[in-house]
Amino acid sequence: MRKAVIPVLLLLGVFLVSWLCQPFTLICQEYEGLFLATPDAWARAFAQPFPLSGILSDFLIQFYRDPVYGALITAVIVALVFLLLRGILSRRGLPVTDTLSALGAGVLWFFLARSPEPKPAVAALLILLGLWLLSLLLPVRKGKAWRADLPVAAALVLAAAAGTVFSPAVQRTERFSRVKRDALYGVWDDLLKAVPPSVAEKDGELTPFALLALSAKGQLGEKMFSYPVYSENDLDMCDYDGNAEYYTSLLFKAALYQHLGCYNEAVHNYCQWATQLRKGTGFIVLRKLVEMYCLLGDYTLMEKYCRVLDHSLLHRSYVKYYRAQAAQGEAHATEPAAVRSVIPVISHDPLYNLLQLESAGIHAASSADRTLATILLRGNPAQLRSVLERLGPSYERIPKHFQEAMVFYGIRSGNVDASVVERYSAFVEDLQLLTDEQLIERYRDTAFIYLQYAL
Amino acid sequence: MHRPWFPATLFLLVLLGTGCARVAFEDSAQLPPIVPDYAGVTVPEGMAALSFEMADGRPFRVERRRDGDTLFFSVRAWDRKTRRGVRYAPFKVYVSQDPIDPYIAYRLIEPSYEGWKEMGLYTRELATFREHPIVTNRDNRGGCVNCHHFPSGDPSRMMFHARGAGGGTVFLEGDDARLINLTTVGPRKQGVYPAWHPSGRYIAFSSNATHQSFPIYGHQQVEVYDQSSDLILMDLQTDSVSVRPSVCGDARMETFPAWSPDGSELYFCVADSLSDVVDNRSRVHYRLEAIAFRDGQFDGDPYPVWQCDTLSVSFPRVNGKWMLFTAAAYGTFPIWHPEADLYLMDLETGEAAPAEALNSLESDSYHSWSSNGRWLLFSSRRLDGRYTRLYIAHFDGEGHFSKPFLLPQKRYSHNVLRLKSYNVPEFVKGDPGRHSRAVSRLFAQ
C-alpha cells in the first residue's frame, strides 16, 4: 500500500495538471506531430537520431488529439519512470529510493511539460527500462529505508506539480497553443478570452490574432485600439524577425487568408508553415490541406491527402467525412490559360492583397474593416477618404475608430457620431493641457493617440 | 476416439470457406480499369516490375505471361461487398530490346512555395526499386541543392548547385569534389540551368533572376518568372567564366541552354525583356534560338530556330535531328502550367508539333533523352495536378513515341503517399551514388 502512494500521486498529479493546465499544449503537439505508415515516413523515422524513441514518441503523439489521452500518456510515462528508477535503486538497498525516484520523475515531468514532443521522455523511459533489466542481474542489497523517504518524495511530487502549474513558460506555451487552435479553427470568442488587452500588452505577438478575432466578429473598427496597436504590423504581421516570428507570421497568415476566403494563399502559407515544423509537415497541415482543397473543389488533391491521412491511426472518420463531401461537391474546372494569365497575384503588401481580393469578389464580412484599419494604421488620409467613399455606404454606422480617423483628418465622407466629435474636441483641448503620458492614459482606446503619436 | 472438436472445426472451416468464396467470374471484354494505365506501354528489357492497382480500390489478382516481346497481364477483380468477380480482357505490355541507361537521377522536394524543409538529389536503379541519396540538404545545413547535371549521362562527373551560406556550384569528378562560387569569378553572375558541352570542358549556364507570385484564386497556385536572364560560359580547365554580349544583355532574357550533339551549336530560349513581368505575364513568350560555338567561344550572332506567338518554349533537348521542348501558353516555368505540353521538332525541316502520345491535361515538362536516344524520361503532374511524377517513353528514332509508363514503384500507392515531387530527372549511364561521400567530405570542410 505504502509503495503505491507515490506512483498513484504521480499518475493522478501529472494527469490532472496536464489535462487541466496544458490541454491545448497537448493538442498542438498532435498538430505538429506526424506518424504515417508510409515508406517515406518509415525511412525518415529510421534515419533520425534515436529512432526507437522517435517512432514511439510519434506513435503516442497521435493520441494527443484528445487531451485526455495526451494527459494520460504523459502521466503513465512519468509514473513508469518513477517505478523503473525505484526498481533500480531499491535493488542497491539505498535508504532514499522514493526520494531519488521522485526527484528523477519530477525532473522528467519538468522537462516534459516544456518539451514540444514526448521524445526525450520516451528515450529516458527506454534507457531506464534497459538499466532496470540490467539491474535484475545484480545481487539485491538490503538496506533500511529512511523514515522521511515517503513524505519527502510526496513533497517533491507536489513541488514538481506546482513548478508546472505556476511556470510562466508553461502558461505562455499553453496560451499560445490555445490561440493557435482558436485561430486555425475560427473559435474567435475563445481566442478573445485567451488574449484580453492586458495579455496582449505583455505578449505583443498575440495582438494580430486578437485583432483577427475582432475583425471576424465585426468589432475591429470598434475595439482595435483597446489593444496595444503600435504599427500596421500588429494588424497583419507582415514583417517578422527571426525564426520564431517567421513561424508565427506564417501561422497567422494561413489563418487570416483562410478566414478571408483566399484559399490559394491559405494553402501557400500552410505549406510554408509546414517547412517550419519538425518533420516538414504535420497532421494539422495535412488536415488543413484536405479542408482547403475541398473548399477549392480540387478533389483529386484532396483525395491524395485523405489517402495519406488514412495511413495514420486516427483519421478514418475524418477522411470518410471529406470523401463524402467530395462525392456531393462539384469539382472546380481548370481555367483556360488566357483566364489564368490575368488573375491577380498576392503581394507582400497586405492592403494591396485586400484590394485585389475585393476586386476579385473574394471577401469575408471583415474585409472592409481590415482594409480601412490598414489604411488608418498607415495614416493615409487621401486613401482613407477614397476607400470610405466606396465602402462607407456598406456600413449601417461607420465603426468608431474609423469615425475618429475621419474627424482627425477632417474627412466628411460619412456620418460621424456626436460623441466622437465631442471626444476629439476634448482631445484637442487636452493636447495643450496634459502631459503625453496623461494624454495617452486618457485616450488610449481611441485612434487619436495612434494618429497623433505612432505615425 | 471421441473427438468432438473435429466435426466442429470442419464445420467452421467449411462455413469460413463458403463465406470467403468469391463468386464465379464474369468475363469482361474491357481492359481492367487500373492505375497507372500500363495497358499498351513499351518497357525496356529488365525494367523493375510494373505494379498497379484497381482504380476503384477493388482487390484483384494478376497473372503475367510472356510471349516473345509481349507481356500479357490478366486481371481478375472482386467487389468487396458482393464478392462478385470480373475477369477482364488481358492487356499487353511490349518489351523493347533497345537498351536503356540503368540509372536515373532526380531531386526530391516538396512542391511547395518559397521554403523547404528537406530536399535531396537521389538516384534510382531502373531494374530495381533501389533509391538512394547522392546528396541531401542535411549535408549543407538545410540549404538548397538543385540543377544536378551529368556530361552526356556520364556518372563519373557531376555538378549541382548548393545554395545558402557558403554555397556555390559543386563539381564532382571521380573522388574529387570542389565548390566554386560563380558569382566571385568572371562577370559575377550565378549559374542556374546548366548544359555540359559534349567535349566535357565547358558548361553553359543560364543566369536567372527568378521570382514567384501566387495567384489569389484558380487552379494554378504559383507563377514562377524571370525578371532577367543571360547565358554565361564556364571553362572547367581554367575555372573561368565568360560572357558574350549577344547572349548576355538587358534587352533580352536568354535561358535553358542545350548543346547540339556535336557541340557546334548552343540552343537556348529567349524572350524580350518586359517591365512588370507579373502583370504582363501573358505577353511573355520565349522562342528558340541558337548560336554557333567554335574553339571554345560563341561565334557570331544568335539565329532563330523556332517560335510561335501563342506559345512559350522551355527546356530544349536535342537527340540527333530531333529536339524535344516544353511549350506553355506563356512564361518560363511550365511545371506550374497545366496546359504545358511536350513538342517534338525535326531540326532538319524546322517543323514542330505536340508529342501527342506523351501529353496529358496536366503539366508535362522537364525531360531527358537516354544516351542512345531511344528512351525519354520526363516529368508530369497528370496523377494529381500538383506532385510531379516520372514517366518513360520509347522513341523509335522516326519521330514516334510509344505510350509512356509511370516509373514503377514497389507499390503504386507510393506515388500517392510520397509527399515530394520529382525534379529535373536525368538518365545516367551508371550509379552516381558514389559521389555522396565526396560531397559529404566537401560540405564537412
Q: What is the pLDDT of residue B112?
A: 67
- The Cα–Cα gap between B255 and B265 comes to 15
pLDDT tens digits along A231-288:
999 999 988 777 778 899 999 999 999 999 999 999 999 999 999 999 999 999 999 9
Number of other CB atoms surrounding residue B141 within 10 Å:
12
Pull the grid cell for residue B293: 560555338
All residues of chain B having their beta carbon less than 8 Å from the beta carbon of residue A281 are 110, 117, 419
Task: Identify the CA nearest to B311 among candidates B289, B343, B280.
Answer: B343
C-alpha angle B135-B139-B143 in degrees, rounded to nearest 5: 95
Indicate the angle between helix axes A97-114 and A2-21, nearest 10 degrees: 10
Task: Give the CA distances from residue B100 to residues B395, B429, B431, in Å, rounded to whole numbers and listed in that order.
Answer: 11, 9, 14
Residues of B with CB below 8 A from A267's CB?
221
Verify whether the Cβ–Cβ distance A268 to B221 is below 8 Å.
Answer: yes
pLDDT over 90 (residue A428) = yes
Q: Is A364 helix (H, G, I), strand (E, B) or coil?
A: coil
For residue A353, the chain B residues in CB contact (below 8 A) are: 216
Chain A partners within 8 Å of B328 (Cβ): 337
Is residue A362 classed as helix, strand or coil in its secondary structure? coil
Distance from CA of B246 to the nearest CA of A (A): 30
Chain A residue with Cα closest to B116:
A275
**Do B112 and A272 count as a contact with CB atoms less than 8 A apart?**
yes
C-alpha cell at A245: 516570428
Half-sphere exposure of B274 (CA within 13 A, CB side): 16
**Distance between CA B216 and CA A187 in Å, rounded?**
25
Confidence of residue A361 (pLDDT cuts 50, 70, 90): confident
Q: For A367, which DSSP code?
A: H
Mean pLDDT of chain B: 92
Print the SS3 string covering chain B: CCCCHHHHHHHHHHHHHHHHCCEEEEECCCCCCEECCCCCCEEECCCCCCCCEECCCCCEEEEEEEECCEEEEEEEEECCCCCEEEECCCEEEEEECCCCCCEEEEEEECCCCCCCCCEEEEEEECCCCCEEEEEECCCCCCCCEEEEECHHHCCCEEEEEECCCCCEEEEEECCEEEEECHHHCCCCCCCCCEEECCCCCEEEEEEEEEEEEEECCCCCCCEEEEEEEEEEEEECCCCEEECCHHHCCCCEEEEEEEECCCCCEEEEEEEECCCCCCCCHHHCCCEEEEEEEECCEEEEEEEEEECCCCCEEEEEEEECCEEEEEEECCCCCHHHCCCCEEEEEECCCCEEEECCCCCCCCCEEEEEECCCCCEEEEEECCCCCCCCEEEEEEECCCCCECCCEECCCCCCHHHHHCCCEEEEEEEECCCHHHHHHHHHHHHHC
Residues of B within 8 A of A338 (CB-CB) are 282, 329
Q: Which of A345, A346, A351, A356 to mutate against chain B (most B CBs within 10 Å)?
A: A345
Chain A residues lying within 8 Å of B312, measured CB to CB: none
A102 contacts: CB under 8 Å, gap ≥ 6: A6, A10, A82, A152, A153, A154, A156, A157
Average pLDDT over residues A115-125: 94
Q: Which letter does DSSP use for residue A451 in this model?
A: I
Secondary structure letter of residue A397 according to DSSP: S
At B108 the pLDDT is 95
- Best residue in A289, A304, A307, A363 to probe B by mutation, most B CBs within 10 Å? A304
Average the pLDDT over each of A155-169, A248-262, B109-123 and give the range with the smallest value.
B109-123
Top-confidence residue, B1 or B419: B419
Assign residue A93 a region (left: φ > 0; alpha: ψ between -120 and 50; beta: otherwise): left
Cβ separation B337–A343 shorter than 8 A = no
All residues of chain A having their beta carbon less than 8 Å from the beta carbon of residue B386 are 301, 304
Report the chain B residue with the minimal C-alpha distance to residue A44.
B118
- Report in angstroms the alpha-carbon separations of A121 from A29, A63, A74: 14, 16, 9
**Cβ–Cβ of A262/B218 closer than 8 Å?**
no
- Bridge partners (DSSP) of residue B313 are B327
Please tell me the distance from the alpha carbon of residue A416 to that of residue A398, in angstroms, as a whole number: 8
Residue B264, number of CB atoms within 10 A of its CB: 13
pLDDT tier for residue A162 given thresholds of 50, 70 and 90 = very high
| pLDDT of residue A25 exceeding 70 | yes
Best mutation target among B219, B224, B283 (most A Cβ atoms within 10 Å) is: B219
Determine the pLDDT at residue B10.
Answer: 59
DSSP track, A409-421:
HT--SS---HHHH
Count CB neighbours of A429 within 10 A.
10
Closest Cα to residue B247, out of B229, B222, B274?
A: B229
d(CA A252, CA A333): 29
Which of A111-120, A180-189, A234-243, A399-408 comes out lowest in average pLDDT? A234-243
Which residue of B215, B329, B361 is in closest CB contact with A337?
Answer: B329
Q: Are the C-beta atoms of B50 and B35 separated by less than 8 Å?
A: no
What is the rounded CA–CA span in Å between residue A18 and residue A27?
A: 11
Looking at residue B84, its pLDDT comes to 87
Could you report the predicted ipTM of this complex, rounded to two decimals? 0.91
Residues B229-262 have pLDDT tens digits of 999 999 999 999 999 999 998 999 999 999 999 9
Residues contacting A34, CB < 8 A, separation 6+: A41, A58, A279, A281, A282, A283, A286
What CA–CA distance (Å, rounded) separates B56 from B86? 13
Strand order in the sheet with B168-173: B145-149, B157-162, B168-173, B176-180
CA gap B423, B122 in Å, rounded: 10
Q: How far is Cα B363 from Cα B400, in angstroms, rounded to an integer?
A: 20
Flag whether pLDDT at B4 surpasses 60. Answer: no
Mean pLDDT value across chain A: 93
For residue A220, the distance in angstroms to the closest alpha carbon of chain B comes to: 24
B326 vs B424: CA distance, rounded Å: 13
**Res B18: pLDDT:** 47
CA dist A365 and B427 (Å) reads: 53
Q: Are the Cβ atoms of A337 and B330 closer than 8 angstroms?
A: yes
Predicted TM-score (pTM) of the model is: 0.92
Nearest-by-Cβ selection for B339 from A40, A311, A337: A337
A437: pLDDT strictly greater than 60: yes
Are the Cβ atoms of A341 and B387 closer than 8 angstroms?
Answer: no
Query: Does B216 sit within 8 Å of A357, measured CB to CB?
Result: yes
> Cβ of A281 and B419 within 8 Å?
yes
Which of B113, B361, B410 comes nearest A271 by C-beta?
B113
Distance CA A393, CA A387 (A): 11
Residue among A268, A339, A343 minimizing CB distance to B113? A268
Residues of chain A with Cβ-Cβ distance to B114 below 8 Å are 272
Query: Between the CA of residue A285 and those of A34, A271, A317, B384, what are the distances in Å?
Result: 10, 7, 17, 18
State whether A264 and B337 contact (CB < 8 Å).
no
pLDDT at B19: 47
Whether A304 sits inside 8 A of B384 (CB atoms) is yes
Q: Which cell is B81 given?
A: 461487398
Q: How far apart are CA B432 and CA B153, in angstroms?
A: 10
How far apart are the CA of B191 and the nearest CA of chain A, in angstroms? 26
Nearest CA in chain A to B385: A301
Query: Which residues from chain B sit within 8 angstroms of residue A262, using beta carbons?
Result: 216-217
Question: What is the mean predicted confidence (pLDDT) over A29-44?
Answer: 95
Distances A388 to A407, A412, B89, B443 between C-alpha atoms, Å? 13, 10, 69, 57
Q: Does A36 sit within 8 Å of B218, measured CB to CB?
A: no
A24 vs A174: CA distance, rounded Å:
6
Q: How many CB atoms lie within 10 A of CB B382?
A: 19
Give residue B297's pLDDT: 92
- Beta-strand relationship, B240-242 and B405-406: unpaired
Do the Cβ atoms of A301 and B385 come closer than 8 Å?
yes
Give the CA angle between residues A261, A266, A271 to the nearest 5°: 165
Contact in structure between B347 and B321 (CB atoms under 8 Å): yes
Which one of B217, B311, B326, B436 makes the best mutation probe of the A interface by having the most chain A beta carbons within 10 Å? B217
Answer whether B213 sits within 8 Å of A345, measured CB to CB: yes
Reading the block at residue A386, the C-alpha cell is 477614397
Query: Residues of B at the A interface (Cβ-Cβ below 8 Å)?
Result: 110, 112-118, 213-223, 278, 281-282, 328-330, 337-339, 361, 384-387, 410, 413-414, 416-420
Within 8 A by CB and 6+ apart from A178, the residues are A24, A190, A191, A194
The DSSP 8-state label assigned to residue A65 in this structure reads: G
Helices A51-61 and A39-47: crossing angle in degrees, nearest 10, is 130
Q: Look at residue B233 in the predicted model and tell me its pLDDT.
A: 96
Per-residue burial over A178-213, b = 16 or more CB atoms within 10 Å of its CB, e = otherwise? bbbbbbbeebbebbbebbebebbeeeebbbbbbbbb
Q: What is the mean pLDDT of residues B157-176?
A: 90
Contact flag A345-B117 (C-beta cutoff 8 Å): no
Cβ neighbours of B183 (radius 10 Å): 16
Which residue from B217, B385, B414 is facing A343, i.e. has the nearest CB? B217
Nearest-by-Cβ selection for B216 from A262, A280, A300: A262
Residue B5 has pLDDT above 60, yes or no: no
Question: How far is the C-alpha of B365 from the C-alpha of B317, rounded, in Å?
Answer: 12
User: Considering chain B, what percentage of its residues have pLDDT values greater than 70?
Assistant: 94
Lowest pLDDT segment from A89-103, B63-77, B417-431: A89-103
